[in-house]
Amino acid sequence: MSDLGELYQEVLLDHNRRPRNFGALEEASHVAHGHNPLCGDKLTVYLKVRNGVVEGVNFTGSGCAVSQASASLMTEGLKGKSIDQVEAMFTKVHNLLTGKSTGAEDTEDLGKLRALSGISGFPIRVKCATLAWHTMHAALTEAADEISTE
């Protein structure tokens, strides 16, 4: 049985208390708003992408410890990554959160993001954690569409 310590790992609690990269990013190239209708939590993710590399990620919004920490950890994890690496990380985190990770090789390069591993034991809280990631993904893909039409 999952226990509370697995969900509320120290890294997660720290990022909830002191969210990193919190605040709007003025020079953002991609922005998307996320909303969790279950709890009413709202999140905005800002990305600055140049030459296919994420140079900056910020977020704003409010939510539970899981959603805040997941967003904060995400901003740290994505900085400096290429779009392809972001896609790979998105998939890996999604697998981690939904309990689909099969072994250590799936998560070894996730670093601090492994603090999200306990969430899969709390199915009702998975959406709290995926909100930031889906919002980030929407920001990248929707903005890409806009760019392609120019």
Partner 1 sequence: MTTPVQDYTEHTIAATTRRADVARLRSDFPILHRQVRGKPLVYLDNAATTQKPDVVIDAVDAYYRRQNANVHRGLYMLSEQATDAFEAVRESAARFLNARDSSEIIFTSGTTGGINLVAAAFGSAQVRAGDEILISAMEHHSNIVPWQLLCERTGAVLRIIPITDDGELRLDAYTKLLSDRTRMVAIVHVSNALGTVNPIKQMIACARECNIPVLVDGAQSVAHMAVDVQDLDCDFFVLSGHKLFGPTGVGVLYGKAQHLEAMPPYQGGGDMIRSVTFEKTRYNKPPQKFEAGTPNIAGVIGLGAAIDYLRGLEWEAIGAYEHDLLTYATEKLAAIERVHLIGTAPHKTGVLSFVIDGIHPHDIGTILDFDGIAIRAGHHCTQPLMDRLGLSATARASFSFYNTREEVDLLATAIPKIFEVMG
Stretch that binds partner 1, among 45-53, 96-104, 123-131, 140-148 (CB under 8 A): 123-131
Q: How many residues bind partner 1 (CB under 8 A)?
A: 23
Task: Record the tokens describing residue 15, joined without a space.
Answer: 């990022």
Asked if 38 touches partner 1 (CB under 8 A), the answer is yes
Minimal CA–CA distance to 130: which of 139, 120, 140?
Answer: 120
Which one among 28, 54, 66, 116 touches partner 1, defined by CB under 8 A? 66
Asked if 128 touches partner 1 (CB under 8 A), the answer is yes
Q: What's the closest the beta carbon of residue 112 comes to partner 1, in angstroms?
A: 17
Asked if 17 touches partner 1 (CB under 8 A), the answer is yes
Asked if 13 touches partner 1 (CB under 8 A), the answer is yes
Asked if 8 touches partner 1 (CB under 8 A), the answer is yes
Rg (CA), the chain: 15
Asked if 126 touches partner 1 (CB under 8 A), the answer is no
Task: Record the tokens describing residue 61, joined without a space.
Answer: 């919004």
Asked if 65 touches partner 1 (CB under 8 A), the answer is yes
Stretch that binds partner 1, among 8-16, 21-29, 48-56, 89-97 (CB under 8 A): 8-16
Residues of this chain that interact with partner 1 (CB under 8 A) are 1, 3-4, 7-8, 13, 16-17, 38-42, 62-66, 68, 122, 124-125, 128
